[in-house]
Structure 1
Amino acid sequence: MDFGITGKVAIVTGGSSGIGKAIAQAFHDEGGIIIINGRDEAKLMAACADIGPRAHGIVADLAKPDGAGILNAFAKKFGDVEYLVNNIGIFESQDFFEIPDARWHEFFEANVMTGVRITRAVMKDMLARDSGSIVFISSDAGVRGIPWMAHYAMTKAAQFGVSRSLAELAKGTNVRVNSFLPGPTATDSVQTYFGGIAEQEGKTVNDVMTGYFRDHEPSSLIQRLIDPAMHGRAVVALAANPAMTGTAQRCDGGIIRSSI
């Protein structure tokens, strides 16, 4: 299927690893010009080399006031930004009663405000030319809540409110804004996540991974981790569909016990 992405610019924040890199790869495979950002230049350049010749990276920290401007200006060198995927995020497993106030703020800054800042920079141009698509990478955690990572779940729920509000802001235009909800995914950072659970429960990482879905995610219908490439394909389809806006699209392996 031709999604009409060939030659169009797509920013994928935090696109040097994990789900972000898979999304960047999917846009590139459809012919897009891909812009990714991060704080580690060597990692960025390696990711660009992996993704392909139309992938370009820049060091830009969206947690800082000037980061969004740096990233947007760099992307505009390659043309109008048609797609923006807000993928930057952090997560961890931690006892609710042990999470300090500062950590709640850190999670909100990383998972919500990074997307707010770059969207604020990019969306005005989209509205001015009446064309563009924005996707916030949220999580199943934003719907169902996860007691061992409440601060993460809070930020993922907040992304729904931001994305729907911006979709309403763009009402009547050809600019669309959606959320995307991946479930547990086979990324490198998942090892760290399992390590946190193992520490809390006094088990080895291997023991936790062996019984993870049985013990922690029994509602998952597929009972396995999701290949990041599946998210890449799904985000491209969501971002390119002119009839989809203001929605929260699930790709969670059926872990949320609801059909809608």
Structure 2
Amino acid sequence: MNLHLKNKRALVSGSTSGIGLAVAKLLAKEGAEVVINGRSQTRIDNAITSIKKDQATARLTGIVADFNDETSVRSLIKQVGDIDILINNVGIFKSQGFNETDDADWKEMFNINVMSSVRLSRAFLPNMLENNWGRIIFISSECAMLVPEDMIAYSATKTALLSISRGLAQVARGSEVTVNSIMPGSTYTEGAQQFLKERSLQENVSEQQLAEEFFKSTRSTSLLGRFTTTEEIASTVVYLCSPLAVATNGATIKADGGSVPGIL
């Protein structure tokens, strides 16, 4: 399917690995010019090499930014210039008890997971409205609705993104600018791979057994019954970037493998 993204310009925050990298790859494949973002030039260079391995003609640039540093974010915005598509993907998480999560942890998580999206959207939405075309996508998480007891702060940040996304869609009412959220489920990212590898060594069981047990006990509500791939999430994200998806606006799209119960 032609998603009509040729010559569109996109910024994907946190796009040197995981879902962000998969989204950047697919956007580039669809003909968009993509700005890669990461915490170091080395990570950016590796991401660009990875994309160009399969797509030699991909149009890519890279900008380093630390989303816990407002000065770094302002520099990123200045360097990026005008864009048509913004993917608010960057985020961090910590697995720890509520009483062990101190104010500094909460502030860091909200600064990176929430305020990164606020600052980028505030910078790029006005030009999208002026051009009467644009796409803003927030990468939330199933944890916005399924709140693990050891990830309360992270879950709160992902729930906040849903409100911001819906509010911005209303701000863009009557235009060809759409704003939506994606709610991925448990995804087989580098972080998940590392977690399974470490647990496998600790417990002397295979990674496959650990994954199966996770979906039997921790994510027993999952209808898919396995980790989604980053490419599966990216396909949904990139479709919503397309002019073909203009009727989807102000929505939270579940790409969770059915792990969040209910018909909505």
Given the two structures, how large is their TM-score scaled by the length of structure 1? 0.91
| 1:69 partnered with 2:74 | yes
CA distance in 2, matches of 1:173, 1:182: 27
Cα separation, 1, equivalents of 2:108 and 2:94: 12
- Aligned to 1:147, the other structure's residue is in SS state coil
- The C-alpha deviation readout for 1:197-236, integer Å capped at 9, x for no partner, is x6xxx95685644511112110011111111001111101
- Deviation string, structure 1 residues 71-97 (Cα, Å, up to 9, x no partner): 233332xxx411000000112321222
- In structure 2, what is the Cα distance between the partners aligned to 1:81 and 1:153? 29
- What is the alpha-carbon distance in structure 2 between the residues aligned to residue 184 and residue 105 of structure 1? 24
Judged with a 3 Å threshold, the aligned counterparts in structure 2 of structure 1 residues 193 and 136 are, in CA distance, closer, same or farther, namely: farther
What pairs up with 1:77-226 in 2 under 5 angstroms? 80-191=82-193, 193=195, 206=207, 208-226=210-228
Match in the other structure for 1:10: 10
Q: Equivalent residue for 2:45?
A: 45
Quote the offset at 1:193 in angstroms. Answer: 5.0
What is the root-mean-square deviation of aligned Cα atoms in Å?
Answer: 2.0
Query: Alignment partner for residue 245 of structure 1, among 243, 249, 261?
Result: 249
Q: Is the 8 A contact 1:62 1:117 kept in 2?
A: no
Runs of 4 or more off by more than 6 Å in structure 1?
none
CA distance in 1, matches of 2:67, 2:178: 22
State the shift of 1:246 in Å.
0.4
Q: Write the deviation string for residues 161-209 of structure 1: whole angstroms up to 9, x where unpaired.
A: 111111111111111111100000111111455589x6xxx95685644
CA distance in 2 between partners of 1:124 and 1:179 (Å): 19
Q: Could you tell me whether the CA contact under 8 Å between 1:85 and 1:136 is conserved in 2?
A: yes
Question: Are the equivalent residues in 1 in contact too, given 2:68–2:108 (CA < 8 A)?
Answer: no
State how far apart, in whole Å, the 1-side matches of 2:195 and 2:173 are: 38
Residue 38 of structure 1 contacts residue 44 of structure 1 at CA under 8 Å; is this kept in 2?
A: yes
Query: Quick one: distance in 1 between partners of 2:114 and 2:86?
Result: 14
Q: 2 CA distance for matches of 1:104 and 1:203?
A: 31
User: Contact between 1:92 and 1:193, CA under 8 Å: does it hold in 2?
Assistant: no
Distance 1:89 1:249 in 2: 18
Name whichever of 59-68 and 9-18 sits farther off: 59-68
Partner of 2:34, secondary structure, is strand
Q: Please tell me whether residue 259 in structure 1 is matched to residue 263 in structure 2.
A: yes
| Mapped partners of 1:72, 1:98: distance in 2 | 34
Deviates more, 1:66-75 or 1:121-130: 66-75
- Between the aligned partners of 2:49 and 2:218, the Cα distance in structure 1 is 37
CA contact (8 A) 1:68 1:121 kept: no
Cα deviation, 1:40-71, whole Å, max 9, x if unaligned, reads 10110110121133121111223222333322
1:142/1:157 contact within 8 Å kept: yes
**Which residue identity does 1:91 align to in structure 2?**
F
Displacement of 1:138 after TM fit? 0.2
Task: Specify the alignment match of 1:54 in structure 2.
Answer: 59
Whether the aligned pair in 2 keeps the contact of 1:69 and 1:121 (CA below 8 Å) is no
Paired letter, 2:259: I
| Paired letter, 1:87 | N
Of all paired residues, the percent bearing the same amino acid is: 36
Structure 2 CA distance for aligned equivalents of residues 224 and 32 of structure 1 = 31
CA distance in 2, matches of 1:41, 1:120: 25
